[in-house]
């Protein structure tokens, strides 16, 4: 099975971390790594654009070291990877500062979508769409509508990345229309859809016909879209240090499970445990 995770890889600065304070992460890269860990038999490829600099080379080596393929990564002659810094409060909630406006990843798919050919599964997020020029993101959604792959989407809604809220809502709605497995977070969807209750968001997705995937609701666990599935009991996280990549790691573990034939309930349980393990340690990528 060939799986493409599409998006931006960034340099992660974590000044509060003891020891190594520089890492590599990004929402779809995080998912790719946890997916590869949970499904080592699959060929998980990361699709992005990096620079031609030494830091890009180190990042690419790191990606390979995590069992994620780099054959679909291209390199820009002049641009560099984006950078972000993490700050966490006493409860482990994180905030970010970004330097990414001229990142190499913003040139992804300028020459077409050859990197996606032959893929069985394509995973992307709204961050992937937001960093692309409007015409490229529109053509990408059109391409996904015609592609034979299973499309997996997470509406990671980051308002600062979009031209305006109306554009974000329209684009993300179009992405849902070509999606087979939906993995949204409740806060993102309430911000986009205007609901004030997770149950209302769940009703919207079920009315749209989604039966694969789940609505992530933070510490409360995830609500399956398939109304016939009973969610497993979600134990509270025993320790919260840094919530970075909680949803990304959930997505990776969930996909690793369902793509190997696990039931929805089992996949949700595994994904919840993975997210709990990630938020117990600093940074997006925890040790194996």
User: Which two tokens mark 35?
Assistant: 């997916």
What does the alpha-carbon distance between residue 24 and residue 56 come to, in Å, rounded to a whole number? 10
Task: Tell me the per-residue pLDDT of 129-139, one tens digit each, with 9 for 90 and over.
Answer: 999 999 999 99
Task: Tell me the per-residue pLDDT of 173-208, one tens digit each, with 9 for 90 and over.
Answer: 999 999 999 999 999 999 999 999 999 999 999 999
Asked about 248 being catalytic, the answer comes back as yes
Residue 271: per-residue pLDDT:
98
User: Which two tokens mark 130?
Assistant: 């937001």
- Say whether pLDDT at 86 is over 90: no
What does the alpha-carbon distance between residue 180 and residue 199 come to, in Å, rounded to a whole number? 21
3-state secondary structure of 45: strand
Between 146 and 86, name the one with better pLDDT.
146
Nearest to 173, CA basis, from 189, 197, 150: 189
Residue 18: per-residue pLDDT:
63
Helix orientation angle between 264-279 and 27-38, rounded to the nearest 10 degrees: 120
How many C-beta neighbours within 10 Å does residue 12 have? 23
DSSP, res 16? T
pTM (predicted TM-score): 0.95
Q: E strand or H helix at 49, and its extent?
A: strand 43-50
Residue 49: per-residue pLDDT:
98
Taking phi over 0 as left and psi of -120 to 50 as alpha, with beta for the rest, 285 belongs to beta
Task: Tell me the per-residue pLDDT of 44-66, one tens digit each, with 9 for 90 and over.
Answer: 999 999 999 999 999 999 999 99
Residue 15: per-residue pLDDT:
76
Residue 17: per-residue pLDDT:
64
- Say whether pLDDT at 167 is over 90: yes
3-state secondary structure of 25: strand
Residue 231: per-residue pLDDT:
96
- Say whether pLDDT at 141 is over 80: yes
Candidate list 154, 188, 242, 248, residue with the active-site label: 248
- Say whether pLDDT at 14 is over 80: no
What does the alpha-carbon distance between residue 232 and residue 2 come to, in Å, rounded to a whole number? 29
3-state secondary structure of 167: helix
Q: With b meaning 16 or more CB within 10 Å and e meaning fewer, what string describes 185-210?
A: bbebbbbbbebeebeebbeebbeeeb
The string of DSSP codes covering 62-97 is: HHHHTT-B-TTEEE-SS-B-EEEEEEE-TTS-EEEE
């Amino acid at each position: 099975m060939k799986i493409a995770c599409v998006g931006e890889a960034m340099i992660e600065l974590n000044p509060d971390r003891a020891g190594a304070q520089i890492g590599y992460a990004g929402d779809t890269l995080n998912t790719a790594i946890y997916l590869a860990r949970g499904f080592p038999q699959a060929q998980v490829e990361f699709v992005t654009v990096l620079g031609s600099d030494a830091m890009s080379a180190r990042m690419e080596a790191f990606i390979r070291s995590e069992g994620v393929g780099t054959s679909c990564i291209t390199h820009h002659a002049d641009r560099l990877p984006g950078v972000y810094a993490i700050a966490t409060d006493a409860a482990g909630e994180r905030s970010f500062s970004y330097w990414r406006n001229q990142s190499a990843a913003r040139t992804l798919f300028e020459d077409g979508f050859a990197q996606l050919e032959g893929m069985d599964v394509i995973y992307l997020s709204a961050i992937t769409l937001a960093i692309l020029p409007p015409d490229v993101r529109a053509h990408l959604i059109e391409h996904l509508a015609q592609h034979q792959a299973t499309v997996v989407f997470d509406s990671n809604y980051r308002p600062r990345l979009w031209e305006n809220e109306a554009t974000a809502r329209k684009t993300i709605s179009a992405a849902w229309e070509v999606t087979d497995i939906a993995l949204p977070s409740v806060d993102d969807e309430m911000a986009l859809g205007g609901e004030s209750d997770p149950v209302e968001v769940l009703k919207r997705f079920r009315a749209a016909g989604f039966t694969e995937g789940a609505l992530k609701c933070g510490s409360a666990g995830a609500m399956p879209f398939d109304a016939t599935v009973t969610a497993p009991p979600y134990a509270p996280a025993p320790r919260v240090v840094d919530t970075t990549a909680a949803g990304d790691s959930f997505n990776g573990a969930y996909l690793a499970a369902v793509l190997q034939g696990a039931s929805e309930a089992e996949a949700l349980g595994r994904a919840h445990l993975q997210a709990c393990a990630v938020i117990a340690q600093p940074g997006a990528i925890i040790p194996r």
